[in-house]
Structure 1
Amino acid sequence: MTVEYESYGLPLDEYQLSRADHRRQSEADEIAAWVERQVAKAPPWSEERYQQLQALLDSHTAPPPWEYMRWRVRLYCGHIQEIERHCRDARPDRGTQDTRCSECGKNPSVIVAFEVIGAVAEPPKAPKTKSQNTTSRRGRTSRRTKADLEAENSALRAEVERLRRSDTK
């Protein structure tokens, strides 16, 4: 599956916030406030419940670094950051549309412009395997025919039989 990465605006250029940007930021702020109210209403967790959650989170393994892409993004607050998203995602603002700004701390701060930079890391190279038809030092192939194998088998059997006879004497 090939992903065609999208870009929107130029994060490093001047950027004028649009009405859609203001609307998305307002929605993100409302969602964050609603979540905080819900969490405040929730009953406290026992130590056992925390440990169960921790065990569940510890059992999850993060994908390797070569499965992530680096993106340059401009946030609603105006700051520019580099973030990472899974390589399946054609846009960094899908799914997780809000981001905490590492400079001013605004949380959430929606992504208003973005461009792909590249992979976080290169995947490891596959180990080289020797092919069946390798060439020996003399230039002939090392692949043997059925007749060669049968002749060698007969010679080895004769050698084993000879050794048996000499051992019994």
Structure 2
Amino acid sequence: MLSTFTDVEVEYLCHGVPLADYQPTKADHRRQQEAVRTHEWVQRQVAKAPPWTEERRERMRELLGPPIPPWELQRWRLRLYCGHIVEAARIRKSPRPDGGVCDKEACPECCLDPSVIVAFEPLGPLADPPPKKRSQKPSRPSRKPPADRRSKAELAAENEALRAELQALRDQM
């Protein structure tokens, strides 16, 4: 059963009651077994892969961009397959802690990795956004060049074409 909580931007979903007593269902057992098999397969594939160079690591950091600021994260209470209850932070734009994709978490208490999420509820934002800074000067709108303005390269190409046409006319005389 899913219920919802509305934030300013997102309608967060709830599944079950993480703090209530819970007995894993057959579906939970099946999802956990599948998660373990998938995790083991990924570990085998990673072990076969060549090690990354520092350049490749740096390129990956560039592609991923800066870390997500805390005010863009939502806190969640999760009940894991192993029975432990943990808090986790996820991006606020997602209505579920699993993002609809990865419904497992490593348990910090018993170290079961992965442990499927069997119940979850939103707790609120991880942090408040920073206050907006007031600029001392009013910002001017950016000036855009007129639509009929051409680039230097376009003008140079047109100039060269006109010179060639002029030379062709002179040669005909």
What TM-score does the superposition give when structure 1 sets the normalisation length? 0.69
- Structure 1 portions without partners, runs of 5+: 133-169
- Pair 1:107 & 2:110 matched: no
Query: Which residue of the other structure, out of 51, 56, 60, is the alignment partner of 2:54?
Result: 51
What SS does structure 1 have at the residue aligned with 2:53? helix
Letter in 2 for 1:33: E
Q: How does 1:121-160 map to 2 (within 5 A)?
A: 121-128=127-134
Counterpart AA for 1:67: E
Q: Aligned partners of 2:61, 2:48: CA distance in 1, in Å?
A: 27
Aligned residues: 127
- Segments of structure 2 that go 5 or more residues without pairing to the other structure are 1-7, 139-173
Choose which of 64, 88, 98 in structure 1 pairs with 2:104. 98
Alpha-carbon RMSD = 2.0
The SS at the match of 1:84 is strand
Deviations 1:127-157 (A, max 9, x none): 3579x9xxxxxxxxxxxxxxxxxxxxxxxxx
**Structure that is richer in strand per residue:** 2
TM-score by length of 2: 0.67
Supply the distance in 1 between the matched residues of 2:129 and 2:74 (Cα, whole angstroms). Answer: 12
Q: CA deviation at 1:73?
A: 0.4
Per-residue Cα deviation, 1:9-59 (whole angstroms, up to 9, x for no partner): 1111101111211111111011011112212333x32xxx42023212443
Q: Which amino acid aligns with 1:3?
A: V
In structure 1, distance between residues paired with 2:129 and 2:43: 39
Partner of 1:38: 45
